[in-house]
Amino acid sequence: MDLKGMMGQLQGMQQKMQDMQETLANTEVEGTSGGGLVSVAMDGKGTLKGVKIDPSLLKPEEAEIVEDLIVAAASDARSKTETLMQEKMKEVTGGLPLPPGMNLF
């Protein structure tokens, strides 16, 4: 591939990256824990948007368990967000070989 062709491909990829980042910012991912007793909503950039807790957990003696479940649900949502980002990145790069460790975000 010639340099001019590669530059054109990189410019196209840059636009796709911007589009992908906008799409991710508007995508909501839900993470759950405790068999669905706790769920969190997170946007595609990893910003926590909401928490839902089953009323059965809202007892003072269960506070530590609820706290742990919230952390687990947030971790689940973050993991799903990272997977989504990787999938979108594959779409954007379209097989263009990138050096190992190169992160375009």
Question: What is the mean pLDDT of the segment spanning 71-83?
Answer: 88
Predicted TM-score (pTM) of the model is 0.56
Query: What pLDDT, on the 0 to 100 scale, is given for residue 35?
Result: 94
Q: Count of domains in the chain?
A: 1
Q: Is residue 77 situated within a structural domain?
A: yes
Q: CA-CA distance, 42 to 49, in Å (whole number)?
A: 5
Structure tokens belonging to residue 56: 């059965």
Q: Is residue 64 situated within a structural domain?
A: yes
Domain range for 48 is 25-82
Q: Is residue 40 situated within a structural domain?
A: yes
Are 43 and 28 in contact, with CB atoms under 8 Å apart?
yes
Q: Is residue 34 situated within a structural domain?
A: yes
In order of 9, 81, 88, the CA distances from 23 in angstroms are: 21, 12, 10
Domain of 44, CATH number, reads 3.30.1310.10
**pLDDT tens, residue by residue, 34-73:** 999 999 888 887 788 888 999 888 888 888 888 888 989 8
Question: Considering only CA atoms, which of 27, 29, 31 is closest in space to residue 39?
Answer: 31
Percent of the chain with pLDDT over 70: 89
Q: Is residue 51 situated within a structural domain?
A: yes
The residue that leads in pLDDT, 21 or 99, is 21
Q: Is residue 56 situated within a structural domain?
A: yes
Q: Is residue 5 situated within a structural domain?
A: no
